[in-house]
């Protein structure tokens, strides 16, 4: 019984820390729209309520490929979410062509009431 309780508490601690980690992180949002205007789906995340500190919208896939060749952007629309470190792009956390997937990721960055 004690082993189960300890295991449960350890798991709860790990899960709690991992969700807190995402809420405390800061994100840079890169959106490549292409022909589809998707900016309204992301506008709410550029506020004090979420952990997005900066965003960039590109309308042209060719410009995105030229500016960010390392990330091999294949099509538009595309969303790349980076964790930032002191204003620099630090680590790519999500690269997706599924707008709903990006929105769900960003929903998790909502800050607790201040």
Q: Please indicate, yes or no, if residue 48 is contained in any of the structural domains.
A: yes
pLDDT in tens, the chain (114 residues): 655 444 444 445 455 444 444 447 899 999 999 888 898 999 999 888 999 999 999 999 999 999 999 999 999 999 999 998 765 667 999 999 999 999 999 999 888 754
The neighbour count for residue 69, using CB atoms within 10 Å, is 9
Q: What is the pLDDT of residue 18?
A: 46
* Distance in angstroms (rounded) separating the CA atoms of residues 17 and 24: 10
Q: What would the two tokens of residue 105 be?
A: 């990721």
* Distance in angstroms (rounded) separating the CA atoms of residues 68 and 33: 15
Q: Please indicate, yes or no, if residue 97 is contained in any of the structural domains.
A: yes
Determine the structural domain holding residue 96 and report its residue range. Answer: 26-108
What is the domain count for the chain?
1
Domain of residue 73, CATH code:
3.40.30
């Amino acid at each position: 019984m004690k082993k189960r309780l300890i295991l449960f508490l350890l798991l709860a601690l790990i899960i709690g820390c991992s969700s807190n980690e995402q809420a405390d992180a800061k994100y840079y949002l890169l959106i490549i729209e292409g022909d589809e205007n998707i900016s309204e789906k992301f506008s709410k995340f550029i506020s004090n309520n979420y952990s997005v500190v900066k965003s960039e919208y590109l309308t042209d896939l060719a410009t995105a490929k030229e500016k960010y060749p390392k990330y091999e952007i294949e099509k538009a629309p595309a969303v790349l979410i980076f964790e930032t470190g002191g204003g620099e792009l630090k680590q790519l956390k999500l690269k997706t062509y599924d707008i709903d997937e990006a929105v769900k990721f960003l929903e998790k960055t909502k800050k607790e009431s201040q």
